[in-house]
């Protein structure tokens, strides 16, 4: 594990005191451990450029800690569940 992983874990521990009231919707960035984009790439199979684009467009919830973008598995699952075949360009769709 590198310095980035340690920074992510430290930030996760510092943020663990944040609590949601029942009226708030659950923020996927507060569910589970924060992971780096490198871990997100391995989990989703998407490229770094794709993930960065989804973050910029607000489709994938992530935050920047220093110079490192982080997200959670819950945020990735939420993004992946939001995708449907109609939103994927035809040339990138899996043919069955």
- pLDDT tens for 28-68 read 777 778 999 999 999 999 999 999 999 999 999 999 999 99
Give this prediction's pTM.
0.61
CA dist., res. 29 & res. 23, Å (int): 17
Q: For 38-58, give the DSSP string.
A: HHHHHHH---HHHHHHHHHTT
Tell me: pLDDT of 10 over 70: no
CB contact at 8 A, 5 and 36: yes
């Amino acid at each position: 594990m590198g310095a980035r992983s340690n920074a992510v874990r430290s930030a996760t521990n510092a943020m663990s005191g944040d609590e949601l009231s029942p009226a708030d919707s659950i923020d996927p960035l507060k569910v589970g451990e924060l992971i780096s984009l490198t871990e997100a790439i391995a989990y989703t199979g998407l490229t770094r450029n794709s993930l960065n684009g989804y973050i910029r467009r607000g489709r994938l919830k992530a935050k920047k800690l220093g110079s490192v973008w982080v997200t959670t598995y819950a945020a990735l699952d939420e993004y992946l569940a939001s995708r449907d075949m109609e939103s994927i360009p035809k040339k990138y769709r899996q043919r069955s």
